[in-house]
Each structure stands twice: as structure tokens, then as C-alpha cells.
Structure 1
Amino acid sequence: MHVLLLSAYDAASHRQWRRGLVAAMPDWHWTQLTLPPRNFSWRVRGNSLSWGRGEAAELMARPWDLVVATSMTDLAALRGLVPRIGLVPTAVYFHENQFAYPRSEKAAHSIEPQMLNIYTALCGDMLLFNSEFNRRTLLEGAERLLRRLPDCVPAGICEEIAAKSYLLPVPLEDALFEAETQQLKGRPFTLSWAARWEYDKRPDRLLHILQGLEAAGVDFRLNMLGQTFRNSPEEFALIRRDFAHRLLSVGFVEDKNQYRGILRQSHVFLSTAAHEFQGLAAMEASALGCSPLVPDEQAYPDYYPREMRFADVPDAIAKLCALAERHQMGRELPLADFSRYRWKLLGEKYRHLLVSITGGGKI
């Protein structure tokens, strides 16, 4: 099987999924093309031009058995520029969609990325989504957008997309489940928060939760991890100033083993995000032994029981206070079992689904 793998906006989670997919099927012959995760508007509209008329043009036109592309790929335009690609069975993986992304007040609003999602979904022979939330919000968002268009909108577009859609999460690395469990009794109650330092990860919620814990007299420590940016929201600076006495590790930890070591020494992994289509960081932390506490929204209800989700800031504070008290009493904290989402188990499901669109088997 000769497979062309296209990652048009190769962000960290996309890269992790891509590498895991290739490693899970070493008997297939993979050719990978990626584009850097920057200049979003140009990247999502220009990837077909970069590949279809760039240095990769000759490679694109080779006789492939299968194409696997991320949803950032402008598949419709790519098939126009490289007609031979249009004859190859193609699976599209949706890490996210442009209908459920929280919009910054400073960002320019355009329907073009959403239309590209629709075109790519229509062009793919199979669509894979990492959560039901992702699939549902794309279909609902596409239906709303299509109703707004003035005329000449064909019927049945969303039904066509839904009919070839399947749920298949980004699997977790097997190594996460092979690490020894840390002994955390007697250590200060430690929270870890890990995400991009941007507005859609809701640092305002994080700040208010920390203020609530401080007011409640909880003795806690915090690892505030993740990639920082020049224009990161001011809440991060406020946390670093007002909670310096609580902070342990701060910022991006490049070494994977060091990062996982920090999580293994944490009692709770806290997410405050308003933009998660699966939430790999929380899943990985759970696999490493953290008790997760996540918002009761986005993809989180697809994967976490109600008691591990919070409705609002007061609810998060109350649940964290209860976990801190439980820790102080020497009782084990509740854990989420994600062992069924490891590559060792999901890799064969990926293989089965991808083979099915090449004529090699039925679902």
C-alpha cells in the first residue's frame, strides 16, 4: 500500500497523530508532505497551490493507492490542480472544524475557512472525526451557513457529509500506560494546567479559579505549562505575579520525558479551555495518573463522566476544594481510564477503515 499523507497545517497535535499513524502501519509505504502551522489564512487557502504547483507537484501525481489528508487540506482545489489525485481513494481526518472555533474580537471574520471545510468534506471518500462534538458542530454549522447563502444551494449536502463520517479519536501513545505510578501521598496538593497561552484556553477562568482556591485557604501548587506567545493574554502575567508562591514549573517544557514527569507528580490536571475538539493534553495527563477536571462543554462530555466536569468557576472551585480535602485525608483521587484509546488498540481500527475505501474490505 503506497499512501500519501498530507498535513496542511502541521500543528503539534496533527504532527503527533501523523507520526503515530505511520508508526502503527509500518508495512505500508508512506510519503508525508507537511506545511508549517503559521499564517493560518494563507495556509488553509494556499496549501493546494504550494503542493499542486510547487516542488511537490511531480510527487503528487504519482500512482497512489490511498491519500490521507487533514481537514486543513484544500482538497477540492488540490484535485483541480492535480487531477490524478481526484482518482485516488481519500480519507480526511478532522482534528477540528472552523464552525466551533471561539472567535476573538480582534480577529477578522470570514466564512471562507468554513466553506473550505465543506468542500474538503464533500471531496473526501471517508471522513474521520476525533469526537462526536467535532462531527456534530461541523454538520450543524454547515447547515446554518448553507441556509444563509442567497441562492443556488443544492439540497442534501449535510446528509452527504454525515453518511461518510466516522468517529475515531487521536490515539494515545502506548508509553503513557507503561510508566510507573508515582507515590504522591504527603506531597502538597498539586495542579497542572497545560495549553497554548492564548485566549481560547480561557486564562480568565484559570485566574478566577486560583483566586477562589486562595480565598478558600487551599494549600496548593501549580504547574502552568504550555507554549507562550509575545501577545499572550494578560491573565498569565497576573497569575505569575499574584501566585508566585504557588508556582512550580512555568512555560513550555520541550523535553517530553520531563513534561510527563511533571504530570506524574501532579494530583489534578485542570483544563479551562473554550476550544477543544478532543483534548489530548487532558487525556495524556489522565493516562499518567492525574485526576482530570475539565469544562462541561466542547468535546469533554464525550470522554469524561459528569463528576470530572465543572459547569462554571464556582463549581470548579468547589470540586477542587473537595479533591484537596480528599488528598489531605490520604484518600485516592478519582481517575479516568483511557487505556482503550491507546495506539495498540485503535491502530487496527484505523487500518480497517482506511483499507475499506481502497476496495480491500468492507466496514
Structure 2
Amino acid sequence: MSKKLLFLESFYGGSHKDFADGWIKHSVHDIELCTLPSCHWKWRLRAAALHFMNVVTPDKYEAIICTSMMSISELKNRWKRPIFLYMHESQLSYPLPKNSGVDHHGIHIDFNNCLAADWLVFNSQTHLDTFIGHIARYFERAPEYPPQWISEEIKTKAQVLHPGCQLQRYTKKTKNKRPVIVWNHRWEFDKNPQEFFAALEEVDLKNSCFDLVLLGECGQSVPKLFLAAQKKWGDRILHYGFVNSKKEYISWLQQSDLVISTAIQENFGISIVEAIYYGCFPIVPARLSYPEVLPQKYHHKCLYEDFDDLVAKIILFLEDYEEYETIRGGLSQSMFKYSWSSTISKYDAIF
């Protein structure tokens, strides 16, 4: 039976936007979306719920869908509606930029959200395990009465559902004159572009030929690393910067051969799933969510252990990239299980 649901997305951009749009598009339920722009994330955590309380009347909705960039306990107090919480990320396990301290308020919002939610869902087993693992360490700093019971309660009520991805049918890739490497992640410190460009410099010293496509969202100013890369690689960069059009984004993925992640934080990895589905071979860390997302039979070729292994795997691919065509085809097919058409029934069944 179709339900009338309200989806509150306080950070409507990137994977949050993709997830919300995909669920609403494919769901059997009648889901109404209310959003805020994807900026000022700390204030979204602190004040987004207060904003939604003032602009939305919850009476006509049977349940509320929220994601992790807001305080749902405040909503629950006021609205008395069952709440589904999807944990895209959590402040407890998020890496800190240099010269920044722990955001204790954000961490406590995470705890309170998990306890207040009627349905608690994490986007990967890796994310859930990491979150649970950090709880005991966090409360070690408490001078007395650490609430270690929280981890057991969250483990009991939480479930894992990989996010659906908006994967479209596509035509077969054309062969490039030389391999194209794509970066399609946010231009932020947690995606570790410094290691990505350092690896490319090492590969370049071996006289391996490649071109570059640099996609992804960046903040208010372009990081110096990307400005330097634009100057260094020059006309070898086939595209530079964010594209608003999903069609154009997919087109660049289809024109690329190799996708690399050097991330220090990744709870699922929609951008990697998309790149693989559209024909790119992945070289990604043997940690975070990647071993969970990639089929095990491809781990030995796709997962790298350290920087030297990353460089070696890139060179191996570039030297004989046409030989990887069959593997790329198998990897592409394996990603279809993350499409909304494959996952939507699990989400809709919750209600």
C-alpha cells in the first residue's frame, strides 16, 4: 500500500541529492521532498531541524525520511511522527582537517539521532562497524559513567542498505588512442587528491601515456592542488571541473578507462560504482568500504595496499589496458545490483 511520506534533505547536493532523487523517482510511495542547499554543514547539523519545523506541517504525512546532516531528535519531540534515518556519514568517524578540533556537538547529534530514529539505516556495513567501533573510544574521555550501552542499542536497531544508484543504460565504450584516467570525487581533503596527483607524477616518470578527466564538486574556492594540476597537465586534461548535467557526467565516464580513489574517508562510494558501471576499471584502497562494494574475485587486481602498490597497479593497467576489457565488462555488470531498480523494493518495504 502506498504511503504519504515526507523526505527532509538538509544537505541537498552530491550523494545526498542523488539518493533522495533516486528514491523518490523509483518508489511506489508518494514522497514529497523538502530541501536546503548543500553548504554550511555545521549549521545544517545544528539548525536545519528548526528551519523545517517552521516551514513544514507534518500532519498529512505518515512518516518522515531524514538523512544524517540534521538533528532529528528535535523533530521527533515536536512532530510525534515516526522517522526513518539514513546515515550517509557520521561525525564520530569523519577524519578531521589539519588544525581543527573535534566537533563534540556534532557527535552528540549523531548519538541522539540514532537513539531517536524509528528506523535506523547505515549505507554500508563498513560504516556501521566503524561507527560502533568508535563509540567506546569516544566515551573513554568521560570522567565517569560512560554510556557504553549506546553501542549495544544502536547495533540492535540498525540495519544496512546500500544506497541505490541512478544507473542508466548506455552504449558500448569507444576505444581511446591512449588511456583516460578520471577523478570524479569531491575536491576535498577527505578524498585525498594530494596522493592521487603524486601517484600520477610517479607514473609519468615511467613514460606511461595517459590523459585526464577531472570531474567532481568543489567548495567555494578551487583547491591549490587542482589549480597546480591544471597548469602541470595542460592539454592532457580533456575536461576540468564540475558538470551540472547528469548526461554530460555519464558521457565523460564512458569516455574514461581508469577510475582511481585515494580517499581517506568513504562510507559507500557512489562515484566509484558509477564509474565502474559505465566502463572504468577501478584502482581503490584495500580499506574503507571498497572491499565491501567490489566483488571479491576482483580484489587482487583492484585493491591497493599502499602508495607503491597504487603506482604499480596504475602502470600495469596503462601498459596493457586493452587486456582489461573483459574484466571491465564483468565489473560493470556486477554494479547493477546497486541500481535503484534492484534495491528500491528493500527501501519501500520498510514502510
2:265 equivalent among 271, 275, 285? 275
**Do 2:317 and 2:324's aligned partners in 1 also have CA atoms closer than 8 Å?**
no
TM-score, normalised relative to structure 1: 0.89
- In structure 1, what is the equivalent of residue 304 of structure 2? 310
- In structure 2, what is the equivalent of residue 68 of structure 1? 65
2:228 equivalent among 228, 235, 238? 238
Question: How many residues get paired?
Answer: 341
- Report the Cα offset of residue 153 of structure 1: 4.0
State the distance in 1 between where 2:60 and 2:142 align. 38
State the distance in 2 between where 1:148 and 1:102 align. 18
- Report the Cα offset of residue 179 of structure 1: 0.5
- Report the Cα offset of residue 134 of structure 1: 1.0
2:191 equivalent among 193, 196, 201? 201
Give 2:84's aligned amino acid: A
- In structure 1, what is the equivalent of residue 339 of structure 2? 342
- Report the Cα offset of residue 213 of structure 1: 1.0
- In structure 2, what is the equivalent of residue 110 of structure 1? 103
The yes-or-no answer on 1:140 pairing with 2:142 is: no
State the distance in 2 between where 1:127 and 1:331 align. 40
- In structure 2, what is the equivalent of residue 15 of structure 1? 17
Q: Which runs of 5+ in 2 are unaligned?
A: none
**Do 1:24 and 1:347's aligned partners in 2 also have CA atoms closer than 8 Å?**
yes
- Report the Cα offset of residue 306 of structure 1: 3.8
- Report the Cα offset of residue 231 of structure 1: 4.1
User: Secondary structure at 1:135's aligned position in 2?
Assistant: helix
The yes-or-no answer on 1:30 pairing with 2:41 is: no
Give 2:55's aligned amino acid: E
Q: Deviations over 1:41-96 (max 9, x none)?
A: 211011221122x222xx13x1532221112221112222x1xx33x332110111
State the distance in 2 between where 1:164 and 1:319 align. 40
The yes-or-no answer on 1:100 pairing with 2:90 is: no
- In structure 2, what is the equivalent of residue 301 of structure 1? 291
- Report the Cα offset of residue 152 of structure 1: 4.1
Q: Which runs of 5+ in 1 are unaligned?
A: 356-363
User: Secondary structure at 1:35's aligned position in 2?
Assistant: strand
**Do 2:167 and 2:277's aligned partners in 1 also have CA atoms closer than 8 Å?**
no
State the distance in 1 between where 2:52 and 2:75 align. 8
**Do 1:208 and 1:313's aligned partners in 2 also have CA atoms closer than 8 Å?**
no
- Report the Cα offset of residue 349 of structure 1: 1.0
2:113 equivalent among 102, 106, 120? 120
The yes-or-no answer on 1:319 pairing with 2:309 is: no
Q: Deviations over 1:13-52 (max 9, x none)?
A: 11111111112224x2222222222112211011221122
**Do 1:118 and 1:142's aligned partners in 2 also have CA atoms closer than 8 Å?**
no
State the distance in 2 between where 1:149 and 1:220 align. 52
Give 1:317's aligned amino acid: V
- In structure 1, what is the equivalent of residue 210 of structure 2? 220
- In structure 2, what is the equivalent of residue 358 of structure 1? none
State the distance in 2 between where 1:216 and 1:151 align. 57
- Report the Cα offset of residue 169 of structure 1: 1.1
Sort the Cα spacing of 1:142 and 1:63 in 2 relative to 1 into closer, same or farther, 3 A.
farther
State the distance in 2 between where 1:125 and 1:35 align. 23
- Report the Cα offset of residue 108 of structure 1: 4.2
State the distance in 2 between where 1:225 and 1:333 align. 25
User: Secondary structure at 1:150's aligned position in 2?
Assistant: coil
Give 2:170's aligned amino acid: A
- In structure 1, what is the equivalent of residue 83 of structure 2? 90
Q: Deviations over 1:223-257 (max 9, x none)?
A: 11122345443222222222214211111122211
TM-score, normalised relative to structure 2: 0.91
Sort the Cα spacing of 1:250 and 1:165 in 2 relative to 1 into closer, same or farther, 3 A.
same
- Report the Cα offset of residue 170 of structure 1: 1.1
- Report the Cα offset of residue 340 of structure 1: 1.1
- In structure 1, what is the equivalent of residue 51 of structure 2? 50
- Report the Cα offset of residue 147 of structure 1: 3.0
The yes-or-no answer on 1:167 pairing with 2:160 is: yes
The yes-or-no answer on 1:292 pairing with 2:282 is: yes
**RMSD between aligned alpha carbons?**
1.8
Q: Which has the higher helix share?
A: 2
**Do 2:122 and 2:160's aligned partners in 1 also have CA atoms closer than 8 Å?**
yes
Sort the Cα spacing of 1:23 and 1:190 in 2 relative to 1 into closer, same or farther, 3 A.
same
Give 1:325's aligned amino acid: E
- Report the Cα offset of residue 215 of structure 1: 0.7
Sort the Cα spacing of 1:21 and 1:217 in 2 relative to 1 into closer, same or farther, 3 A.
same
- In structure 2, what is the equivalent of residue 255 of structure 1? 245
- Report the Cα offset of residue 333 of structure 1: 5.7
- Report the Cα offset of residue 140 of structure 1: 1.5
Give 1:179's aligned amino acid: Y
State the distance in 2 between where 1:123 and 1:99 align. 17
